[in-house]
Structure 1
Amino acid sequence: MRFGVFYVLECPDHDFSRAYREMLAQISYAEHLGFDEVWLAEHHGSDYGSMPSPQVAAAAVAERTERMRIGIAVSNLTFDWPVRVAEDYAMVDVLSGGRLDFGAGRGYQPGEFHNMGVGDRQDVSREVFAEALEIIRGLWSRKTGEPFSFQGEHFDIDAVECRPTPVQRPTPPMYVASISPQTFDLVASQGYNMLITPTLMTLPELNRLVVDIKRKLIAGGRDPLSLDFPMNWQIHLAGSAEEAVENVAEPLAWYYRNVLDLVPSGPDVPRTYERYAELVAASEEAGGLTLDGLRESGVLYVGEPEGLVAEIETLHQETGLQHLICWMRFGGLAHEKVLSSLELFAEHVLPRFRDRPPVVPRALRDEVAAIR
């Protein structure tokens, strides 16, 4: 199994210099502890995230690390010209010596679309996203000096070349982030792997979705043991569950207040974002989000290491989880508490799964056996 760390880089106190310093220090320490990768998220114009250009952060990470892979979770393809996105991240792949993992999404926060001057794109974001992703893959898969052309509804590119080209051929690993069935279909039809997170749904709901999409991919001919669905999970570890809860109560309350204010909701939800509004409405009907409720539903894990070991074991068997991204720095959680959580994970959790081979999800084993 592979293990990573994740950064949205929320900054409640607006001390961005400190937040960036702490993030880079935590990433360096995570590599020292044995984590395999870091993932960086793009966000714009709110306290929720302070990393508008993950490609800039990724270049800084490349200089401070030696072996960690550098993942993007995600680049919002509806905000930019896809040729520029392809160039920037190809440069990251070159600077890092071929360590880029490229995750892409279409964005979901209406305020971000407004901030980036593309508010009219949100209703057609799925189509814009699909075209942009096809362009990036097309540019990356060409040799240097070999032009690429594309004519679509939203982009028209004639004989464009990408400089530089990525080190990894034909492209760096590419992932799609999604919580909607329609985007799952895109993943299935194009052969991508999927980034998943239980932030706005319960863990059992997410598990069912993962098994369903893996069933579709396997039926389409994908090797069941090659399916790589990194799960991004908010995690905090301490010596006891009581200590862990005390550490994160305020940062998590801040985080969930913010995220629920930013996602599409209410009567004027942009087209294709209805799923977000449904999730917000469900949380409101349940009386709002509480730390106890979030822990019980598996949206996050806050506790001691042995309990997390048991949870990961279950996920490994039930969904075939072989790739866990640990979101440990959330809501402005204090630097020393993040470092302590990383240390506990590296000491007590990581060694239990390091050599664990991939497995087929339990619910699909009979089906896979019949195909073979």
Structure 2
Amino acid sequence: MRLGIFLLAARFPGQDDAAALSRTVEAAAAAERAGFDDVWLAEHHFMSYGVVPSGTVLAGHILAATGRIDVGTAVSVLSNQHPVALAEQAAMLSLLSGGRFRLGVGRGGPWRDLEVFGTGLDRYEHGFAESLDLLLAWLRSDRVAWAGERFSFREVPVVPRALVPPQVTVACTSRATEELAAVRGLPMLLGMHVGPDEKAAAVARHGLPDAPHISTHVAQVADTREQAVKTLMDEMPRWLGPGLEGYVAVDDRPRPSRDPVGYTRRMCELHPVGSPDYCVESLVTTVERTGIRHLILLVEAAGSREATLENIARLGADVLPGVRAAVAGS
């Protein structure tokens, strides 16, 4: 059983980017003290929803500032960068940290970063499989040459080389990506927008139920369920609404607007938002229904530095032991 935290590094109302980044690093250190197993970092561009443009850069900083906890990207976007460059960074972080780095990758979206970084919409729509295959080949080889549709180069040595490559996990939000991950024997990272039944169905379709899949959750603990829900309903839409406006399609395709209040209510319905006992029961239910034994928790939803640190400490003290005991006894 592994329990981690997931950090968006969102810019909360009244904060600047420096404060958001500082809070994120502080939260990672707090998670290590609280007994979590890992920290996962989101990556975004040109939006307040998350102010980290490079999950690997921030992971390196946090790995240097911690001593035990694993640090991963959730996720590094393959559609807007060269897969060899990302693989080189991953290998270096794995070597420098003694194997504490984990690499989550995803397709991303049809957003403006494709234009800014020059990779284009085609890389997003049709190039993910080749990008993933090249990244995996680089991480697993001494020398690599490539002759593909989007990448082509003569043989070069892999430097630095991590003899034990970091675990690669693929963010899956569609059946096509589930199948792509399954064919390559890679675990899935399943998001917050679906509940345990949908995640169980994805695991069944994937066909490798014992793979180290990861399930993502919003988590907010309070004395009662009502208090926790009220906290999120009052605070989460304040930073979520402006953040969601940053998702702008590169080709100006229509994008359905998402109601931040309705989305917050949905998160409260799906996830461990409540008393310690409620949170334990919610997380254990996910494990029982899906078979997934690695859960990561978004702990920042209450929208302030103080609330984030308090939530991490209380989850560590009042929820994690109960989850681990229940799963170990099942």
Answer yes or no: same fold by TM over 0.5: yes
Q: Is the 8 A contact 2:145 2:154 kept in 1?
A: yes
SS in 2 for 1:103: strand
Quote the residue 1:305 is aligned against.
276
1:90 aligns with 2:82: no
Quote the residue 2:41 is aligned against.
40
User: 1:160-309 to 2 correspondence within 5 Å?
Assistant: 160-167=156-163, 169=164, 171-199=165-193, 202-203=194-195, 207-208=197-198, 210-218=199-207, 222=208, 224=209, 226-258=210-242, 260-263=244-247, 269=253, 280=256, 289=262, 291-296=264-269, 298=270, 300-309=271-280
C-alpha distance after superposition, 1:116-160 (max 9, x if no partner): 333x32x44143221111111111111xxx320121111113212
Quote the residue 1:138 is aligned against.
137
1:347 aligns with 2:320: no
Query: Could you say if the C-alpha distance between residues 317 and 132 of structure 1 is closer, same or farther in structure 2, counting changes exceeding 3 Å?
Result: same
> How many pairs does the alignment contain?
327
Q: Is the 8 A contact 2:84 2:134 kept in 1?
A: yes
1:327 aligns with 2:298: yes
Question: 1:212 corresponds to which letter in structure 2?
Answer: A
Q: Is the 8 A contact 1:105 1:178 kept in 2?
A: yes
Q: Distance in 2 between matches of 1:358 and 1:115?
A: 51
SS in 2 for 1:289: helix
Q: Distance in 2 between matches of 1:105 and 1:33?
A: 29
Q: Distance in 1 between matches of 2:72 and 2:295?
A: 13
Q: Is the 8 A contact 1:195 1:231 kept in 2?
A: yes
Quote the residue 2:54 is aligned against.
53
Q: Distance in 2 between matches of 1:262 and 1:185?
A: 30
Q: Distance in 2 between matches of 1:104 and 1:358?
A: 33
Q: Is the 8 A contact 2:192 2:267 kept in 1?
A: no
Q: Distance in 2 between matches of 1:288 and 1:330?
A: 13
Q: Is the 8 A contact 1:256 1:289 kept in 2?
A: no
CA shift for structure 1 position 37: 0.3
SS in 2 for 1:83: helix
Q: Is the 8 A contact 1:232 1:325 kept in 2?
A: yes
Question: 1:245 corresponds to which letter in structure 2?
Answer: V
Quote the residue 1:74 is aligned against.
75
CA shift for structure 1 position 316: 1.4
SS in 2 for 1:5: strand
1:10 aligns with 2:41: no
Q: Is the 8 A contact 1:43 1:51 kept in 2?
A: yes
C-alpha distance after superposition, 1:214-265 (max 9, x if no partner): 33444xxx4x3x3222111111112223432343334411344246545578
Q: Is the 8 A contact 2:104 2:169 kept in 1?
A: yes
Question: 2:132 corresponds to which letter in structure 1?
Answer: L
Quote the residue 1:273 is aligned against.
none
SS in 1 for 2:19: helix
Q: Is the 8 A contact 1:139 1:148 kept in 2?
A: yes
C-alpha distance after superposition, 1:59-84 (max 9, x if no partner): 11111111111111111011112211
Taking only the aligned residue pairs, the percentage that are identical comes to 28
RMSD of Structure 2 on Structure 1 (CA) = 2.6
SS in 2 for 1:354: helix
Q: Is the 8 A contact 1:41 1:74 kept in 2?
A: yes
Q: Is the 8 A contact 2:38 2:70 kept in 1?
A: yes
Gaps of 5+ in 2: none
Quote the residue 1:316 is aligned against.
287
